Structure formats: structure tokens, C-alpha cells
Structure 1
């Protein structure tokens, strides 16, 4: 039996740490929606032409790839284009994940993990067996963003404020992993979460 765990949580919650541990200890097959979003925009992939049609040929770099930085600059000041971009990318990402899950199931993979910032908003629970919310206290998240990404405190606070509130995640998740910096504690919670499924 294969289980698919959906992992979500706010920026700076340390989701990567949890994913790395699941990969190392349980040989989980990990898919990150962000990375797949880049993949589907590569030349020859399903979103390449639609994205160029939306933004114009000036976003094509010399090596024929899409200049993602340029796209990001444009959508930052044109929210209506961001919505159109998401309408192209998000369905393609979900389709790619569904196909990969089917392949992994056939190959006998035991655990698959899907990580997405908008996992709940984009209804990834349709193909996840369980949703895990990675919680980290806001002050720790701010500190991580300042240290790891070089953001100012103001920028960190505004990014966190723009995301879904804590209550939304807790109401929609099946399991909460608190990741406040003591990894031994985080690890115990992950192991407990996996054990729940191993005993089914």
C-alpha cells in the first residue's frame, strides 16, 4: 500500500527539513510543486507555449528557456496576469503529480510526499491520503527569513501576513508537526505521523 502525504505550511516553517528527513529515513519520493512549476515551463513542456502567448516572446532567453525573473517582475505589478499565469501552471502541476503518483504506485513505492504552499487552496487533498501542516512560531519564521534569505524584518512580516492564517491550516490539516528548532522533537512527531499509517 502506498500513502501520499501532502505537506504545507507558511514560509519559513522549515518544510524542507521535514521533506529531507522523510526522504532519508523512509525513502519517500518527494515532489515540490514549485520545482514542478518550473519544469512544466521548460521548452517542449505543456506550459511553455501558453506562457509565451500570455507574456509575449520577449520573455524567451537566448537558450530558448523562459526568463522566470522577468515573468515574476511583470506579475508583481500586474495581479491580473498572475491569476492567468496560475490558471496555466497550477492544473499542469497537478496533472504532472497525479501521473507521477500513478507511476510510483506501480513501482511499489511506499511513501510519496507532495509539498505545495497552496496545497489546501488548490485542493491537493483530492489525491493526498493525509495532510500535514508544519507549524513554526511566527517570530522564529521571521528570524529564519532574515537569516536564510536576507529579507528585512518588514518584508518577512508582510510575506507572512499575505499567507493563509494559522487557523486555516489547522482546520484543514489531519496532522500538525511543530517545528520550532528542536529537530529531535520534530523528528519524533514525523515518526509518530508515519507510525499511524504503518499500523493501518
Structure 2
């Protein structure tokens, strides 16, 4: 099995990349964000939230993820404490999926905004890059989120990605057709370099 890690700032086009890889190359994709929606229900996470950020738990006992996001990304210390609990749980779930559910797959792509936080063995890693102003505009249009929140998320991601050494960088600063062409070129490059895997 060949395990590829994909990361990139908010709004860089990770979903577009993953959907294209699934459709065109029929690879299995694991998204850390979707895994986080599962593990956030873990008793340890709920206890942390009840003690440290009780306002994110609704009257029905559910977690208001939007409120949680807006709070933790504006408080670095709180975010660090929160991710200390979340990342090991996310890593465990991803490693379980790799070794059980997807053990017979040739290629598995794992996407995580903060790839450095995962305790997963990658064969290669890819950083997806896009112009910051374009990213912010895209996220505001897509999610109706505040610019300040997007900048806070980007700043947090930057701090966590700066020291991580990626094997490949994929640019996404042109139209969708050019982006798809860039993906195809990168896939060919990776295939020729790692053809034995």
C-alpha cells in the first residue's frame, strides 16, 4: 500500500483535489476533518469541552462546531490543548482504517489541514498552495465565514505547516482545467518516481 498525505491552507482546493483523485484515479481518500466529526463525540473530548468551553455544547447536548471553531482558532493555548486530545484520536482512527478497512487498497490518500499533527506513516506528502487573497475570497463565498476567522485559521495552519517538509508542492492559482492538468502531471511524476510501490 502506498500512503499519500495531502495538506494545504483553508481554501486551497483540497476538496477539489480529492474529488478529482477519487473520480479519475479511483483512489481511496480519508479526510481528517470527517474523522474529527466522529471522534469529537469521544468521552474525553466531551469532558474537555464541558470543562473548558461549555458554551459550545447546546441544550440538546450536541457540539456547536461553528462556535467551537470560532473560539479555538482565536485562542492559541486553548487550541493546543484541544488538539492534544483530538489528534491522537484522529490518528488512531486513520491507522485503523488503513490496516483494516482499506488494507487491500493500492493507494490511500489522507487529507489533513494540519498534517504534522497526525501520527501516520506517509510514503509521500503533498502541499497544496494557493494565493492567500484568492483563498480568503473563496472561503468567504463558500462558507460565509468572517475574514478574521479565516485569517486566524490560516495563521494557525501556517505555524503548524512551516516546519513540515513536504515531498511535493501542487499549485492551484489558475482555472480548474489548469489545476486538473497540474494534478495529472504530479500523479505521473509520483508514479514514475515510486513505480515499485
Q: Same fold (TM over 0.5)?
A: yes
Shift in alpha-carbon separation, 1:53–1:110, aligned structure 2, 3 A = same
Matches within 5 A, 1:14-163: 14-42=13-41, 45=42, 47-55=44-52, 59-75=56-72, 78-106=75-103, 108-120=104-116, 122-124=117-119, 126-150=120-144, 159-163=153-157
> What is the aligned-residue RMSD (CA, Å)?
3.1
Among 161, 184, 188, which residue is 1:188 paired with? 184
* Alignment deviations for residues 27-65 of structure 1 (CA, whole Å, 9 cap, x no partner): 2221111221121022xx354443345337665435443
8 A Cα contact 2:140 2:147, kept in partner = yes
Q: Mean Cα displacement is larger for which, 145-154 or 131-140?
A: 145-154
Give 1:97 deviation, angstroms.
0.7
Gapped regions of structure 2 (runs ≥ 5): none
Count of residue correspondences = 192
8 A Cα contact 2:88 2:118, kept in partner = no
Give 1:113 deviation, angstroms.
1.0
Q: Mean Cα displacement is larger for which, 189-198 or 29-38?
A: 189-198
Scaled by the length of structure 2, the TM-score of the pair is 0.78
Q: Mean Cα displacement is larger for which, 142-151 or 153-162?
A: 153-162
8 A Cα contact 1:4 1:114, kept in partner = yes
Give 1:123 deviation, angstroms.
4.9
Gapped regions of structure 1 (runs ≥ 5): none
Q: Does 1:179 align with 2:172?
A: yes
Shift in alpha-carbon separation, 1:21–1:160, aligned structure 2, 3 A = same
8 A Cα contact 1:6 1:132, kept in partner = yes
Give 1:105 deviation, angstroms.
4.6
8 A Cα contact 2:50 2:57, kept in partner = no
Shift in alpha-carbon separation, 1:28–1:46, aligned structure 2, 3 A = farther
Shift in alpha-carbon separation, 1:69–1:102, aligned structure 2, 3 A = same
Scaled by the length of structure 1, the TM-score of the pair is 0.77
